[in-house]
Chain A
Amino acid sequence: MAENSFDVIVIGGGPGGYVAAIRAAQLGKTTAVVEKDKAGGRCLNYACIPAKTMLHTAEVFVEAKESEHLGVKVTGAELDWDALGKRRTEVSSGLEGGVAGLFKKNKIEFIEGEASLTDDGNVKVGDTTYEAGKVIVATGSVAQAIPGVEFGDRVLDTWGAWSLPEQPKSIAVVGAGASGAEIASAYIRFGTEVKLIEMLDQILPAEDKDVVRVVERTFKKQGIEVSTGTAVENVEAGKNSVKFTYGDNSAEVDYLMIAGGRVPDVEVLNLDGAGVKLEDKRIGIDEFQRTSNEKIYAIGDITRGPALAHKAMEEGIVAAEHAAGKDTHPVNIDLVPGPTFCHPQVASVGLTEAQAKEAGHDVKVGKFKLGGVGAGSVYEDRDGMVKLVVDKKYGEIVGAHIVGNRACDMIAELVATMALEGGNQELSFIMHPHPTISEAVLESARAVDGWATHA
């Protein structure tokens, strides 16, 4: 094997790319990953992981201050912003080292630099061309500003929001999807004044209305100023603050944080030259992640579907297995769980009740409040809820929605149930450990047929 020749070259070392590379290497393929920044990509270094580190501190901080009734008296709880920043960096760099270790263990070559495709479907990094049996493109996405606004010192993207050198007194978060809700939720608990502004008519626009109602109530109770159906305009970024208008109001905050959406990072790839076609601004793929150039696969944010790390990872597995000539099963894009790590957490998979009705399902719903199971009281997680959206005919679960402190862990069970095509009938007879919040899942399945035992 020539030095610059690999069976599989993965462009991008994020969650999709590094998982694809490991899988290809496991299947005996000589594999390289090209990454222009750090192993682990944006998820690990600039997005998911740092965000969750910050959110965890927010949670611990609140617990420290508000646990007197639990029998824990804490005086003088303070936020140490520098220590928080240091831990955030340490967690990311620790995991980055972990990914680098996995590369080494699997004999995956890590090539630093910016890659592009050659016209004959090989990979060029700087002046070197690497010959590739198959290429997996996993370059991810970059933050998108809102019309008429540019990112700068006071107008930040999500990474800017998570990496501030000092704790701001006031912020406004534009866009109340998962990222925006998480930023707002962390900063309000840090003690910052937070405005959360969403153009659509509900926060967490992708989520089920019943779930959103619980979150919005909590957000307002925490002190977040929530505006929906409202556009942010007239943004004037000053040296020490940002002024803007929203609806009939105007405001001045330390930072304006934009969590408006992401666009695929494909500009430098030479897709045209390599015969890789875009569909609806993303790379078009078949069920096995193959692009219009059969030699080239694409996974993650640059393809259709939600920009989520776990979706990219599973697509990476499919692409790697297919590229290695192994029989594989396509990713079911209808079963990508959507987790939001605000407080309370929100997690869902499949259709909302409204979407299910629109899709023509004869819908019945099972809802169960977390306060109905013992653990809800023990862990002070009573306001949350599990909601199942079921098609009446066969009991097929077409959507599942959880709001509560452990929602993002709990949703995994419903993804599995749906993937294995269990109906609410099966779920109603599957034992759940007591006392746990997961019992609410069992009860919601029974609630579909009107026999929740603790309701």
Chain B
Amino acid sequence: MDIVMPRLTDSMEEGTILAWLKQDGDSVAVGDELVEIETDKASMVYESDSEGVLKILVAEDETRPIGETIATVGDASMEGTVEGSSPEESSNGASRPLRDDDSGRDALADTHSDLAVDELAADRDHRIMASPLAKRVAEDKGIDLGSVAGSGPNGRIVKADVTEAATKSRPRSAPVAETRAPGTGSKSTEAKKGGVETVELTRLQQLISRRMSESKATAPHFYLRTEIDMSRAVEVRTAFKEAAEEGEAVPSFNDMVVKATALALRNHPRANGNYRNGQVELFSRINVGFAVAANDSLVVPTIGDADHKDLREIASESRRLAERVRSGEITPPELAGGTFSISNLGMFGVRGFDAVINPGQAGILAVGEIAERPAVRDGKIVSAHLMEVSLSCDHRILYGADGAEFLAEIKSNLEEPGLLA
């Protein structure tokens, strides 16, 4: 039975074998951990769904497109017959994600493996199924056919698909480095700038670089900046801290920003929307993502229905998600479905900054440090806990006045934090 590179996230195009957890020729049983795979968003361990002798076809550190066979599991004496097994069988049956503590996960994985089968049919032997006309239009417009979803039978790409792709996005270069020989992660050459060390980007870093460039290139950004007096919020947090039981998560200022933003999003549906193909999509749920730095990369775990959760719930959920990011255990569903994002660099002492919008969202809130600074209140200089924030807006969906009202509501929610708890 073939084990193929599974499709684990919407954006995954290929995966890297981080480690084989069984040796070539080992007997494996159903449920044995087989391989650890790095995707564009996380790394995961896969277990065997069949028993037999493992034959490894792809070495560690190598990268393969989804759907490609990476190993076989079968009777040792049956070797050589595995070629006849159909890709449908193998991609649906042979491997299944482990470390799965999200109940929504199974369904997602199944959908994706179906997708993988479709893609496999379309992409057998690396051949992209596209009509002659589609190929000519793609060449003319500089569209990479590998990035186009085909609407024809078995995913065949037709002219209309390419035309649509051309209007949707600017031409982009080949999705990722095609091959990466094992052990050639970096190399040095002599140059005028001294020794050059070339560092290969991980899947995730490649994805981030692509998404961020796409965002800046396609979404017209503008920025609204304000200063928020967090003095009352500081008091509220202190009260939480005192009331908290041992081991209980105390809401951070960031959790308060999440809640204040979620409540403001309720009244500003466009800020919770998405500009897509010349239309605006407004979402009924408010899912706030917050950027977390981890392992040379950046991920944005999401707190679903943040407007319905109280500060304590948000606090414990954000703590749990951040830990899972750092330990590399975060799963795609925990990273998906965000409708708005927050980026907070306050803990690094950054006073204020502008953030790049996560493509598919209307804006992002960049949050600076909270510092005691002089403020003028009723004509007197007083000391206040001030925090600078900057709201980046996609002008195609969120206009200046709308963005300003939205930002003003976030500000008042934080300056009068009684409503947040």
Contact = CB atoms under 8 A, between A and B. Distances in A.
Contacts of B140: 393-394
Contacts of B203: none
B315 interface: no
Given A394-B136, A394-B137, A421 B153 contact: no
B152 A422 contact: no
Nearest to A417: B132
B388 to A, nearest CB: 52
B133 A423 contact: yes
A422 B133 contact: yes
Interface in A152-205: none
A429 to B, nearest CB: 11
Interface in B116-139: 131-134, 136-137
A425 B152 contact: no
Given A394-B136, A394-B137, A421-B134, 4 more contacts: A393-B140, A395-B136, A421-B159, A423-B132
Dominant SS among interface residues on chain A = loop
B132 A329 contact: no
Interface residues of A, number: 11
B132 A422 contact: yes
Contacts of B152: 329
A426 B136 CA distance: 11
7 contacts: A394-B133, A394-B137, A394-B140, A395-B133, A420-B131, A421-B133, A423-B133
Contacts of B133: 394-396, 421-423
B397 interface: no
B264 interface: no
B158 interface: yes
Contacts of A426: 132
A16 B298 CA distance: 56
Contacts of B132: 420-423, 425-426
Contacts of B159: 396, 421
B328 to A, nearest CB: 37
Nearest to B130: A421
Nearest to A393: B140
Question: Which 8 pairs of residues, A with B, have the shortest CB-CB distance?
Answer: A421-B131, A421-B133, A394-B136, A426-B132, A422-B132, A396-B133, A421-B159, A423-B133
A125 to B, nearest CB: 37
Nearest to B136: A394
Interface of B: 131-134, 136-137, 140, 152-153, 158-159
Interface centre among B133, B136, B137, B140 (most CB of A within 10 A): B133
Interface in A357-374: none
A394 B153 CA distance: 22
Interface in A416-445: 420-423, 425-426
Interface of A: 329, 393-396, 420-423, 425-426
A335 to B, nearest CB: 12
A361 to B, nearest CB: 14
A364 B158 CA distance: 22
A426 B153 CA distance: 20
A326 to B, nearest CB: 12
A32 B140 CA distance: 51
Interface centre among A394, A395, A426 (most CB of B within 10 A): A394
Nearest to B134: A421
B150 to A, nearest CB: 12
Contacts of A425: 132
A17 to B, nearest CB: 25
Nearest to A396: B133
A420 B159 CA distance: 10
A423 B130 CA distance: 13
Nearest to A426: B132
Given A394-B140, A421-B158, A421-B159, A329 B153 contact: yes
B152 to A, nearest CB: 7
A422 B137 contact: no
A426 B132 CA distance: 8
A117 to B, nearest CB: 33
Nearest to A418: B133
A195 B153 CA distance: 48
A295 B94 CA distance: 39
Contacts of B134: 421
A422 B131 contact: yes
A321 B191 CA distance: 64
B159 to A, nearest CB: 6
Nearest to A422: B132
A394 B140 CA distance: 9
Nearest to B157: A421
Contacts of B131: 420-422
Contacts of A396: 133, 159
A395 B134 CA distance: 11
B129 to A, nearest CB: 11
Contacts of A329: 152-153
Nearest to A397: B133
Contacts of A393: 140
Interface centre among B131, B158, B159 (most CB of A within 10 A): B131
A422 B158 CA distance: 10
A423 B137 CA distance: 12
A426 B130 CA distance: 14
Nearest to A328: B153
Contacts of A395: 133, 136
Nearest to A421: B131
A237 to B, nearest CB: 52
B288 to A, nearest CB: 36
Nearest to B152: A329
A420 to B, nearest CB: 6
A242 B350 CA distance: 97
B56 to A, nearest CB: 35
A78 B152 CA distance: 53
A419 B137 CA distance: 16
A393 B141 CA distance: 12
A41 to B, nearest CB: 29
A423 B136 CA distance: 10
B148 to A, nearest CB: 14
